[in-house]
Amino acid sequence: MSASARSSSEDRIPLAVTSIILTVLALSLGDALVKMTSGSFVIWQIFVVRSLILLPILMGVALSLGCLRVPQAGIWIAVRSLMLIAMWICYYLALPNLSLSAAAAAYYTLPIFITLFSAVFVGDSITAKGWAAVVLGFVGVLFILRPSAGDFNLYALLPLLAAMLYAGAMILTRTRCQSEHPVILSLALNLGFIIAGGIAACLIWQLPADMRQGFLLSEWTAMGWSEWVSMGLLAASILIGSIGAAIAYQNGPPAMIGAFDFAYVGFAVLWGIVFFNETPDLIASIGMIMIVGGGILSLRQ
């Protein structure tokens, strides 16, 4: 029996689907918080402080579960963490130079990359319904975001690269890290955030003062009570997101789980209504229905 066949026979679809929906729910809430607090932090400060909050929690969970040990797939876990860190860097680097709708639309090509990578690297069989689910969901994203052609420039390649990195990391989760505990994967990712953020902070400190500005190159800002609360909420978001994504892609076919990643956009629209009074019009509402339809169709492939 091949590795792909063993994986398929051991899949737990309800757990995987529930995990990815909770994941995108938590991450979309975290991104809404970042939008509300934009300008208060530099990206490297978010990386380091958020993960420092998470480390003792993850260590405690790992100790209580008895899974704190040297992982067998240490090299692949490191590669996975680097890919996810690079994904976040690419996406945030694009935001100052693109409209949010253009960046998000480009990034949400990721289920297409997951489907392609699944067929090439995992050997998953992608049926016509599976492809239709991906296309339907992606068109739904375009209906919601409706980026104008003038928004796309060379910077639009960065969210596309971010989508490819995320897709590759999730395929790696299924093919090389499937036996590793999700808490260990989350612990490795957050250690990577701290290392990357610390190195970047040291490099930025060496730059001339006139270059130390913007979301990527500014120095860290002082943190009061409200900033610490925001960081705590961001830590909770990434904790749920990192563990949930690992569980989802360990227990379900990447192409199917990738289709449910589109639910992020639906949640983003909801938080836009709740927090920013951004009410979707008829076309956006049709887009949400298409995304849900794509997710349901993927279950029937």
Q: What is the DSSP string of 104-160?
A: HHHHTTHHHHHHHHIIIII-----HHHHHHHHHHHHHHHHHH---GGG-SGGGHHHH
User: Among 2, 29, 25, 42, which residue's Cα sits nearest to residue 204?
Assistant: 42
pTM, full prediction: 0.75
- Eight-class DSSP state of 199: H
Residue pLDDT tens, the chain, 301 long: 344 443 455 667 888 888 889 998 888 888 778 777 766 778 888 889 888 998 898 888 888 888 777 777 778 999 999 999 999 888 877 766 766 666 666 777 777 777 777 777 777 777 777 778 778 877 877 776 666 555 556 777 888 889 889 888 888 887 887 777 788 888 888 899 999 998 988 888 887 777 776 667 777 888 888 889 888 998 888 888 877 877 887 788 776 777 777 777 778 777 878 887 767 678 777 876 777 677 667 655 5
Contact 254, 197 (CB under 8 A): no
